[in-house]
Structures are given as structure tokens and as C-alpha cells.
Amino acid sequence: MFFKFFPKNCNFFELFEKQVVYAVKAAQFFREVVPQGRITDMTLSKVKAIEHEGDEVAHTIIDQLNKTFITPFDREDIYALTMEVDNIIDMINSIVSRLRIYNICEVDHNLVEFAEVIDESVQAVARAISGMRNLKNAPAVAEACVEVNRLENVGDTMRDRILAELFNNHTDPITVIKWKDIYQDAETVLDVCEDVALIVNSILVKQA
């Protein structure tokens, strides 16, 4: 087993920043798409392209991790961070697919609101990850993590309110089935963002 100590061409911080860009792109695109009310072939292929590019960076990170002996922070934190950022992108892709599979053709104002919260949360995740390079950014990173947590709580409350509405107002069970899944997925994106914030936070604490 030959490990490289600090291989020249591997900078985990840079790679993480590169990966999170695709999460930001996916969230921005999702926010643009939801108010259009219908997922076209082009929309679907565009979000899949973003996911694919994000996957490539994730594979590069894991490959580098497996080949590197000394890492700037705990190996399991690097692994978990990559997987969870990948998860954000996958989940957004999965909601877009679901909107298409369920043949949703209307603009839903609740989902528009969710897409905005998701976009804000992913932007805060990106700020947290960019800040990790330098310990002097610790306050800004901590602030971004607090924001991600706040938005997860916002999402929780939104989902509970929206689901209660859904069950109160709709008598068509197929509609209930479809939207229950979609809102649940939307809230899960915010949960995954919170998981990322937890990992970033714990990396910060260990280095303090």
C-alpha cells in the first residue's frame, strides 16, 4: 500500500468547493424550474447533467482519499462530507424526476416556497464549506452552519403545516400520495444540508 504524503495535485478544500458548486447549481436551477409548473425533457436532462458533473468530483475526492495517507482532517469526515454533498444533489434530482413521473403540471406555491428555502440553505452550505480552508474564517463558517440549522427548522414547520393542509383539503387520494412524497423529499434536502453543517461544525471543533 503506497500512500502519498500531501500529494501535490490534491487539495481537498479545493475539491470540496468544486463539488459544492454543483449543489448550488442544482438548487438554483430547482428554484427556477418549480415556478414553471411542468418538467420538460430539457429540464430533466439539465438537472441530470448537473448531478453527473457533481458525481465526477465526488469520485475524484474518494479516489484521492483512498490514495492519501495524511489528510487535512479526519478521513471519515472527508468521506462523510463528500457523500452528503452528493446526497444534496441526488435529492434535488430525485424531486425533479418525481415531478415528471407524477405528471405534475401545475405551479404549487408551497413547493415554490420550499425551493426558495432549499436554495438559501444550499448557499449557506457552500459558504460553510468555502470557509473551511482557513481557521480565521471560523466565525463565518459557524454562522453559515447556524443558518442551515435555522432553515431546517423552517422547513420542518413548513412541511407539517403543508401536510396538514393537504390532508384537510384534498379528497383525492392520488393527489395526496403524490404531494406527500414531493414535500417529504423537499424537507429531506434540508435535513441533508443540516447533516453537512454538522460535519463541517465537528471538523471545526476538532481543529480549534
Q: Rounded to whole angstroms, how far apart are CA atoms 83 and 7? A: 22
Q: Using CA atoms, how far apart are residues 147 and 132, in angstroms rounded to an integer?
A: 16
Q: Which of 13, 28, 102, 138 binds its own copies (CB under 8 A)?
A: 102
Scanning 21-29, 60-68, 125-133, 140-148 for contacts with its own copies by CB under 8 A, the matching segment is 60-68
CB of 80 to its own copies, least distance (A): 11
Binders of its own copies in range 3-42 (CB under 8 A): none
CB of 107 to its own copies, least distance (A): 19
139 binds its own copies, rule: CB under 8 A: no
Alpha carbon distance 116, 87 (integer Å): 18
- Residue 206 to residue 104: CA distance in whole angstroms: 46
Of residues 24, 95, 11, 81, the one with CA closest to residue 53:
24
- Check residue 164 for interaction with its own copies (CB under 8 A): yes
- Taking the complex as a whole, how short is the minimal distance between the CB of residue 151 and its own copies, in angstroms? 17
What is the distance between the alpha carbons of residues 147 and 127, in angstroms, rounded to a whole number? 10
Among 101, 107, 112, 134, binds its own copies (CB under 8 A): 101
Distance CA 193, CA 87 (A): 9
- Binding-site member from 72, 143, 180, 188 for its own copies (CB under 8 A): 180
DSSP state, 37?
-
Find, among 145, 105, 118, the residue nearest to 29 by Cα: 118
Site string for its own copies, 103-122 (x = CB under 8 A): x-------------------
Name the site residues for its own copies (rule: CB under 8 A).
1, 62-63, 66-67, 76, 97, 100-103, 160, 163-164, 167-168, 171, 173-174, 176-178, 180, 202, 205-208
